Structure 1
């Protein structure tokens, strides 16, 4: 564990067995090209792509989209695969709204082993926990080429002074991230290796669908077996064995940057998966999809 895999980035469409839309979605995973029109929230806030869908979901749950959010998305940055977007111990007060690509947040121990704390997909906010503190709490590394909006604490505080809805929205974002972190603790602490891999696959599928990416039959996934192992507390050899078992059982197939959901309902039963914690409506510890 802890091995960096910058070569994990898909170079482009490859020959493989997923459905016809797999090639398009695999490209979206590595270099999302605003395939979705800007979302106009109820308050007239124009926000592009997956992050706009997140604002829309927040509004559907009773929140008022902050009028100032678009003004914070003025500084766009690009990071190549394998580049550290943030480094633990560096100056904090910054976070990144992921517009295109995938990142992961992690912590490296003194012995060199690495624990991946979460994976960020388009529409997520990387480094949110480092925004209000003087030093970055964790590393954030680009898995694919990433385009992100950099937001600074000073700008956020200025915006909140005239837009209290922004503070409420940030609290909501932090709560959703905490829900994911809580379920990951359950994964590593109480689920078997098969259950935790199955649960993580279904979590990624749901998060991507909420971001407007993927299909009912599968989704793009540039995570290597090394990265999956570091996220789930398993060796890459063990991950390989579990993925093989899921494939031979007709549940899921991970191949060349694509995960096929061969039998999502049975996979959900194996994992004890519920998408409620990702939708902000409950926990992730039941058998319902």
Structure 2
């Protein structure tokens, strides 16, 4: 299933994109796509409903919001071999873990705001993993995959000066407002048979900047979920950003092409849709 939320910010309606590309209203089934929906076997309930029992929606002029309201966002840094190489970092022996504020999440085509004083706002296309059931001290990769509800495109926007040069932890370069466009869809796990065989691409002003594959991950999805569950409880609706391939501005020669107001970023992952954002000043 491809699940999404449409409508004005804060007033989105849950919807489903069926096999024929028809948008269908889920408001009669659930109030929202959120942690509570996932925790109460919402996906299983949806699987048992005929698409024809759901009212069609007119997609004309409908804004696409983020596909769910997440709980927490856990991020994995330096998780692609080529990205670690371009930044001059050694491959990590264990996953590099940090948190990103959940209120950074916006729709896939919403504007991204360049923070005040920023000169090093950067792009990162990432595979997002959405947790569907409580994950605590998972014993195996198989148990980890049983906890995955689905996948989405995540744009882990970063301000590199705030992240790397201002002391403390990475979070303040990652949690600026609008710094996590998500969607357009939450694609359920049954439609992604192998999350380690997906192509990720990102363009800035029409120029291809990132073109990678999840095969290049240092730690695959199953190991990330298993590993995180040893240190924190993952709940339904939590999102994991699993890292980015090479091609970010930070890894480019000088002058590095960091984002400025007016730039347009487009990104896509096989089977998960496409995003498009215009940068604007905060």
Q: Give the number of the structure whose residues are more often strand, by fraction.
A: 2
TM-score (norm 2): 0.27
RCO higher in structure (CA 8 A, sep ≥6):
2
TM-score (norm 1): 0.27
